[in-house]
Amino acid sequence: MHMPLEDTLGLNLLAANQHQADHNREHFDAWQLLCLNLMSSPGAGKTSLLERSLAQLSNEFAMAVLEGDMTTQLDAERLEAVGVPVVPITTGRACHLDAAMVGGGLKLLRQRLDPASLDLLWVENVGNLVCPAEFEVGEHKKVALLSVTEGDDKPLKYPVMFREADCVLITKIDLLPYLPVEVERIEDHIHQVNPRCSVIRLSASSGVGLDSWHAWLRETHAAQCPSPVLTTAKPQPSHPTLVNA
C-alpha cells in the first residue's frame, strides 16, 4: 500500500541546463565581457565571418572563441591562425552546445588567460538550425546566420531559431546575382516570426555589410559593458592577458 502523491512543479524541462547557463552568465557579468552565441546551419559562414571580424576588431576588443564542432578541430585551427585564443569543444555526436559544455570550455580558457581581460567572448555553436535554439549556454545575445544560398523559406521552416535570435545576419550576399532568391523575401520572413531582431545583410568574402555588423557589435557591447574606460581598468587597445601560454 503506497500513498499516492502529486507534486506540481511548473519547472522548465531544461531546468538543469538553465541553471548551468545562469551560472556561466554570472561569470561573464563578473568578468564584464559580452558573450555572443553564433548559430546557423552548417556552411552558412560562421567561421568565415569570425575570421574577418576577429581580424578587423582585434585592435579594438580583446576576444576569445569557444569553438563547437562535432568531430574535428578544423574550425578552431582556422581561427587560431588569426591570432585569437580559441578553445575547441568537440561535441561528439551531440548536435549543439549546451551550458555544461560551455562551462567546460570556460575552465580550459581560464588555464590560458584571465577572462576578466576579455571584452568579447564568442561561442560558435555546432552548425544546426534546430537544437541550438533551445539550449541556452549563458550568452547575452543570440546571433543567427542565414546564407542566401539556403533559400528564403528557412525562417518559416525553422522559426524557433529566428524567433530566439537578437540579430540575424543574411550572409553571402555577394552571391545574390547568381541565385533565384530575393533578399527582401528573406527579410520579410524573418520579420514575420521576429519583428524585433536586427537584420543585417553582409558578405564575409567581399566585406560588404561588415561595417553595419561591427556597428551592431559595438553598440551591443557598450550596452552590456557600459563605459569600460571609466569603470574598469582594462587595457585599451587590449589583448588577452596570457596566464601560461
Report the alpha-carbon distance of residue 181 to residue 150 in Å, rounded: 9
Nearest-approach distance from CB 39 to another protein, in angstroms: 12
Cα angle 68-34-147, degrees, rounded to a multiple of 5: 50
Report the alpha-carbon distance of residue 64 to residue 115 in Å, rounded: 9
- Residue 133, class by beta-carbon neighbours within 10 Å (0-12 exposed, 13-18 middle, 19+ buried)? buried
Report the alpha-carbon distance of residue 170 to residue 147 in Å, rounded: 5
Q: Does 41 bind another protein (CB under 8 A)?
A: no
Scanning 12-20, 52-60, 176-184, 219-227 for contacts with another protein by CB under 8 A, the matching segment is 12-20
Q: Give CA separation, 218 vs 53, 115, 180, 188, 225, in Å.
A: 12, 19, 34, 26, 10
For cell 575552465, what's the residue?
107
What x/- string results for residues 181 through 210 when contact with another protein is judged by CB under 8 A?
----------xxxxxx--------------
Scanning 14-22, 80-88, 175-183, 198-206 for contacts with another protein by CB under 8 A, the matching segment is 14-22
| Residues numbered 52-111 forming contacts with another protein, rule: CB under 8 A | 90-92, 94-96, 98, 100-101
Scanning 22-30, 44-52, 106-114, 154-162 for contacts with another protein by CB under 8 A, the matching segment is 154-162
Among 159, 174, 183, 187, binds another protein (CB under 8 A): 159
Q: Which residues pair with 144 in a beta bridge?
A: 39, 168
Q: Does 230 bind another protein (CB under 8 A)?
A: no
Between 61 and 135, name the residue whose CB sits nearer to another protein.
Answer: 135
Between 91 and 149, name the residue whose CB sits nearer to another protein.
Answer: 91
Report the alpha-carbon distance of residue 180 to residue 152 in Å, rounded: 10
Q: Could you list the residues that contact another protein (CB under 8 A)?
A: 1-17, 19, 90-92, 94-96, 98, 100-101, 130-131, 133-135, 156-157, 159-160, 163, 191-196
